[in-house]
Structure 1
Amino acid sequence: MSDQPGPQTKKPFLYVVVCAAGIAGDVHELITAAQRANWDVGVVATPQGLGFIDAAAVEARTGYPIRSAWRAPGDPRPLPPPDAIAVAPATFNTINKWAAGISDTLAVGILCEAYGLGIPTAVLPHLNSAQAAHPAYRLSLDRLRGMGVMIGSYEPHSPEAGGGAGRFRWEEALELLTPRLSAQA
């Protein structure tokens, strides 16, 4: 008998896109919360984001390899297709590239395609107030909202404040996604 769930009991699959922010090392908090909420989880990291997480621990926790680079044509897909995507933490760079459609990394490419595929996506920005003051950031958030992306409530931290990790609510990604997925069911 297989330990894999059957078609009737298949868990929804969540992609967690991780960017290069100081709090990225705590992504296990979102992974654990998602698994407790009956999600299977796979992680896609930006190339720079890989350096901010414990890859071996994340892979052991999810049971899947972390994706960061494009796969070669004909190579198998290491992750199932996502039912939803959570971008956490999302950096200034990723938010602006995604909104502009600049698909120069696997992570941003997946996000750009998610819109066309209708995949529910939540983003939890994590950036400082100096970055958030740049006019491109607000325009990017407006564009993402217009695309149906759900945006978390985190308020940018002071550039000298040490990153605002204590105010970052990882579980907010699931709070944003759950009503959208329930409406689709």
Structure 2
Amino acid sequence: MTKPVLYFIACAAGPTQHVDDGLRQALARGWDTCLVLTPSAARWWEPRAGELEKLTGHPVRSQYKLPTESDALPKATAMLVAPMSCTTLNKWGAGISDTLAIGLPSEAVHMGVPVTAMPYFNQAQGAQPAVARSVAALREQGVVVLDGPDGYEAHPPKQGNPRAYPWHLALDAVEASAAPAA
């Protein structure tokens, strides 16, 4: 029996420094996990990308493939965008998919693939009016957005704790949304 495939999509937000922790949790739960990074997040991991590829068994993607290239990753059963930065949230909410990390989930949610997203940004960023509009736009499309008490609550500026990011809450939500209907 093949394992379900999780596209684990991480943005340039503090917890991405520890994305290997989230990947290990997903792997321990039985997911065949593929990592996709925003271009900025890929720069953070560039010197250690081989570690992530060894961990997942798949290439780490951060750029669209060329039309002549075949897909490097298996078809996704579910997608998780975590940590989701304020920039990614607002671009995605506005329909701008200029990176692979936004393009994949923005299409997937309309192709029947369960998509979950959990942000990581501070209260000042979260206070921007575009944030509430973007969250509403994603939810309207069927994306499970975990913000607030059931996911990640925005932290005061300069007081975030990237190491304590609740990967387990995001993975719980992915499993709930990807579970077959009874």
Which consecutive aligned stretches of 4+ in structure 1 deviate over 6 angstroms post-superposition? none
CA distance in 2, matches of 1:18, 1:88: 5
Contiguous gaps of at least 5 residues in structure 1? 1-8
Does the 8 A contact of 1:65 with 1:78 survive in 2? Answer: yes
Q: For structure 2, list consecutive stretches of 5 or more residues without a partner in the other structure.
A: none
- Give 1:167 deviation, angstroms: 4.1
Equivalence for 2:13 = 21
Q: Percent identity?
A: 38
Question: Within 5 A, what are the aligned runs for 1:29-40?
Answer: 29-40=21-32
Residue 184 of structure 1: how far off its partner (Å): 4.0
Paired residue for 2:153? 155
Counterpart-to-counterpart distance in 2, 1:120 and 1:131: 27
Match of 2:30, SS? coil
Matches within 5 A, 1:1-185: 9-53=1-45, 54-152=48-146, 153-161=151-159, 163-184=160-181
TM-score normalised according to structure 2 size: 0.91
* C-alpha displacement of 1:164: 2.5
User: Cα gap change, 1:26/1:166 in structure 2, threshold over 3 Å: closer, same or farther?
Assistant: closer
> Residues 34-56 of structure 1, C-alpha deviation per residue, up to 9 Å, x if partnerless?
11111101111110111233322
Aligned residue identity for 2:106: C
In our comparison, the structure showing a higher alpha carbon Rg is 1
Distance 1:10 1:56 in 2: 24
Q: Please give the secondary structure, in 2, of the residue aligned with 1:48.
A: helix
Deviation string, structure 1 residues 135-171 (Cα, Å, up to 9, x no partner) = 000111111111111122211111121x222542011
Residue 124 of structure 1: CA displacement? Answer: 1.2
Q: Give the aligned length.
A: 176
Please report the RMSD computed on the Cα atoms of aligned residues, expressed in angstroms: 1.4
Give 1:155's aligned amino acid.
Answer: E
Question: TM-score, with normalisation over the residues of structure 1?
Answer: 0.90
Separation in structure 2 between the aligned mates of residue 59 and residue 91 of structure 1, nearest angstrom = 23
* Cross-structure match for 1:4: none
Deviation at 1:99, TM superposition (A): 1.1
d(CA) in 2 for partners of 1:31, 1:16: 8
**What is the CA deviation profile of residues 33-78 of structure 1, one whole-angstrom value per residue up to 9, with x for unaligned ones?**
1111111011111101112333221111001111111111121211
Deviations 1:66-98 (A, max 9, x none): 111111112121101110001111000001111
Q: Matched residues in 2 for 1:127 and 1:143: separation?
A: 18
